[in-house]
Amino acid sequence: MNGIRDMAENVTVIQKQRVIKDYAVGIYARVSTSHKAQMDSLSVQISGLTRLAAAHRTWFIADFFIDVASAKTGSKDQNLIE
């Protein structure tokens, strides 16, 4: 039990700080086909952008937008998943 007491002497208490989340951000990820490689790319995009948002203390993710559409035909509302 001496180890616990010794450890307590070396512990610095850090007070909780309130962080105001000022910026609502949306994550938009897009691929042009539903092929496996493109779907893997979509996962990488979402993961990377989520990590980016998490790295900013004042950002919060308000929504995700995923678009699977060909550049030839353009994006259609029914293809945009919110």
Per-residue pLDDT reduced to its tens digit, 30-75: 999 889 999 999 999 999 999 999 999 999 999 999 998 876 665 5
Distance CA 68, CA 52 (A): 22
Number of domains in the chain: 1
Element at 52 (helix H, strand E): helix 36-55
Q: Is residue 10 part of a domain?
A: no
In a domain, 33, yes or no: yes
Confidence of residue 25 (pLDDT cuts 50, 70, 90): very high
Range of the domain at 45: 20-71
CA distance 45 to 56: 17
Question: Is 29 a residue whose pLDDT tops 60?
Answer: yes
Is the residue at 79 inside a domain?
no
pTM more than 0.75 = no
Q: Is residue 64 part of a domain?
A: yes
In a domain, 58, yes or no: yes
